[in-house]
Amino acid sequence: MLELDAPTAVYVLANEGMLRILLRNLLDNAVRYTPPGGKVGVTAQANGVMLTVSDSGPGIPADARVQVLQRFHRLAGQETEGSDLGLSIVSRIVELHDAMLELDAGIGNPGLAVRLVLKSAG
């Protein structure tokens, strides 16, 4: 199940193409790692322009969250297909936009939540 909780409009100072890639990577990862019957949630808040993509998948242990932002890093025991570039691309786009990125526990336990704080356009 995919849930969206967002105001009617949130405006950010960002490169539109890069923001599309960032969102695609986050949503693709969330859907890919969430088991059948699980949840993926997207929340946008206009105050401070925070975007959160969270899921009820297996999560990422706190001590491994920095490593998964590196290119080609895969957690041990994961069999999911992919290039292992998604979160590293997200991290680089966040860096280029002088934004903030945080990985935390997601929906349920463990799950994963990826929070971004971007610069407001207004």
Please tell me the predicted confidence (pLDDT) of residue 34. 92
* Residue at 20 is within a domain: yes
Q: How many domains does the chain have?
A: 1
Which residues, including other chains, have CB under 8 Å from residue 2's CB and lie 6 or more apart?
31, 39, 40, 41, 42
* Residue at 46 is within a domain: yes
Task: Name the residue type at position 31.
Answer: V
**pTM here?**
0.85
Q: Give tens-digit pLDDT for 13-46.
A: 899 999 999 999 999 989 998 999 999 999 998 8
Q: Which residue has 């990577």 as its token pair?
A: 25
* Residue at 55 is within a domain: yes
Which residues, including other chains, have CB under 8 Å from residue 63's CB and lie 6 or more apart?
none
H helix intervals, the chain: 16-33, 86-96
The token pair at 71 is 């290119």
* Residue at 13 is within a domain: yes
Angle CA 41–105–18, to nearest 5:
55
Q: Which residue has 């969206």 as its token pair?
A: 4
Q: How many CA atoms lie within 13 A of 99 on its CB side?
A: 27
- Domain assignment of residue 25, given as a range: 2-117
Please tell me the predicted confidence (pLDDT) of residue 73. 56
First-to-last alpha carbon distance for the chain, in angstroms, is 32
Please tell me the predicted confidence (pLDDT) of residue 2. 85
Rounded average pLDDT per 10-residue block, the chain, 122 residues:
83 91 94 92 88 92 83 59 75 95 90 92 72
The token pair at 62 is 């706190």
* Residue at 83 is within a domain: yes
* Residue at 63 is within a domain: yes
Please tell me the predicted confidence (pLDDT) of residue 113. 95
* Residue at 122 is within a domain: no
Please tell me the predicted confidence (pLDDT) of residue 30. 93
CATH number at residue 101: 3.30.565.10
